[in-house]
Amino acid sequence: MAKRIVFHIASLRGGGAERVFVLMANELASRGHDVTLFTWNAQGPNAALRSPAVHLVDFDLPIRGEGYGKWETLKGIVRSAGLFSRLAPHAVYSAPEFANLVVALALLLARSRARFFPSFHAAASLPS
């Protein structure tokens, strides 16, 4: 049975986590699942890696420096909750840490029953 799966990453800029999520979304879509890649801003080099089989939801929120700002973040949380209510996903994956917090709040606001898989992506530090 195909599952409705959402991958949330704040933007497609950057490197590791963004690339991993796009590739994971592509693979699950190729296996017949209904996969949505959900971003607050889909600009960035990883956008070109997305398979046409993966639905893209882009809120197109403006990025200011390294973030979105307070009002855009609040707007993004409310819009995210609405999206989760409409999509009614079985599973939601998110990264990095800030996105994990935002998605947790949005899922609570949406009263979603989705399984939530927050993730942490960072290089392990090595002792010197």
What pLDDT is stored for residue 96 in this prediction? Answer: 86
Residue 66's CB is within 10 A of a number of other CB atoms, namely 6
Q: Is residue 58 part of a domain?
A: yes
Is 127 within a domain? Answer: no
Strand order in the sheet with 115-118: 55-58, 34-39, 4-9, 91-95, 115-118
CATH of the domain at 68: 3.40.50.2000
- The total of structural domains in the chain comes to 1
- Mean pLDDT confidence for 83-91: 98
For 28-42, the pLDDT digits (tens) are: 999 999 999 999 999
Q: Record the pTM.
A: 0.90
90 pLDDT tier (thresholds 50, 70, 90)? very high
Residue 98 lies in a domain: yes
Does 48 map to a domain?
yes
Expressed as residue numbers, the domain containing 43 is 4-118
User: CA dist 10 to 2, 21, 34, 70, 112, Å?
Assistant: 25, 11, 20, 14, 20
Residue 128, domain member (yes or no): no
* Assigned token pair, 98: 């800030």
Q: In angstroms, rounded to a whole number, what is the distance separating the alpha carbons of residues 85 and 79? A: 10
Token pair for 99: 């996105």
